[in-house]
Amino acid sequence: MATAKSAKFDIKAYRGFKAITLLCLFVLYAPLIVVTIYSFNASASLTNWEGVSFRWYVDVFTGPESGKFKTAALNSFIIAIAAATMATTLATLAATGMVRGGKFKLRSASFGLISLPLMVPEIVTAVATLIFFNAIGFDRGIMTILLAHTAFCVPFAYLPIAARMQGIEDSYEQAAMDLYANKRQAFTKILMPLMMPGIISGFILAFIVSLDDFIITNFVKGAGVETLPTAIFGSVKQGIKPNIMAISTMLLGLSVVMVTISYFVSKADNTK
């Protein structure tokens, strides 16, 4: 509020500002809201509302497609946890090098290299990854999905970790080394605990990104291997049923919870 008032140009003073804001919010959230509401529809129809029911949620777990979805969900969670773990480890090491490595040649180039995948169209990454696996003769399957996810999750994990690390003065590590801790001890006993909120938040982001990924997964997965997003897509191709809305709503809920946790953890202070 204060900043908005003190700014020379108050963007709210432009005519139509409110209308455009509302329009944007509507376009962004209307589909999600519709899907969420209709996932509780008692009818099999996608358009007629016939009362509240949990029937489609039950259908997800017990219906004819439940086996397929369970396998896919299990794959998704295994891949997401493994990929997020590896990506977070790599990102922590990268952040340590970037933030604590002093000034080295190609430092800004390195930063660009780490964060570039965030800006490359995902389809390009997908095609490139596929070609790469083909070129080295890697059989497509869970392993290829896992490797691809680890690779593209690194920048997502990197950003919160590096941001946290930048906020930690290096005098703590110096104090540790002054008190007879060697470099490794200074890292594990001082720097790591102080970075933990950033690491957790990076892990959660990587986890969500991996869990939600469709395009890259679809390219590098082998025949018969499905993750939740590809399974949903496969099911939708045969016609949209309300059980898809129920799954989507559950995924949405999970994402919201995880992103919220990530947000609060990254702001949390383990020093008080």
Chain positions contacting other proteins, by CB under 8 A: 169, 171-172, 174-182, 185, 189-190, 193-194, 270-272
Nearer to other proteins, 134 or 188 (CB): 188
Task: Tell the smallest beta-carbon distance from residue 184 to other proteins (Å).
Answer: 11
Residues 6 or more apart whose Cβ sits within 8 Å of residue 74: none
Task: Tell the smallest beta-carbon distance from residue 183 to other proteins (Å).
Answer: 8
Residues 6 or more apart whose Cβ sits within 8 Å of residue 126: 215, 216, 218, 219, 220
Task: Tell the smallest beta-carbon distance from residue 28 to other proteins (Å).
Answer: 39
Task: Tell the smallest beta-carbon distance from residue 174 to other proteins (Å).
Answer: 6
Task: Tell the smallest beta-carbon distance from residue 173 to other proteins (Å).
Answer: 9
Task: Tell the smallest beta-carbon distance from residue 34 to other proteins (Å).
Answer: 46
Task: Tell the smallest beta-carbon distance from residue 102 to other proteins (Å).
Answer: 12
Nearer to other proteins, 48 or 185 (CB): 185
Nearer to other proteins, 8 or 267 (CB): 267
Nearer to other proteins, 191 or 220 (CB): 191
Nearer to other proteins, 148 or 194 (CB): 194
Residue type at 257 in one-letter notation: V
CB of 196 within 8 A of CB of 131? no
From residue 57, alpha-carbon distances to 41, 72, 220, 243 in Å are 10, 16, 30, 7
State how far the Cα of 56 lies from the Cα of 78, in Å rounded to an integer.
25
Nearer to other proteins, 92 or 248 (CB): 92
CB of 265 within 8 A of CB of 160? no
- Beta-bridge partner residues of 41: 52
What are the contacts of 107-115 at 24+ separation with CB within 8 A? 114/154, 114/155, 114/158, 115/155, 115/158, 115/159
Nearer to other proteins, 186 or 245 (CB): 186
| Phi, psi angles (nearest 5°) of residue 41 | -75, 140
CB of 227 within 8 A of CB of 217? yes
In the chain, how long is the greatest CA-to-CA distance? 71
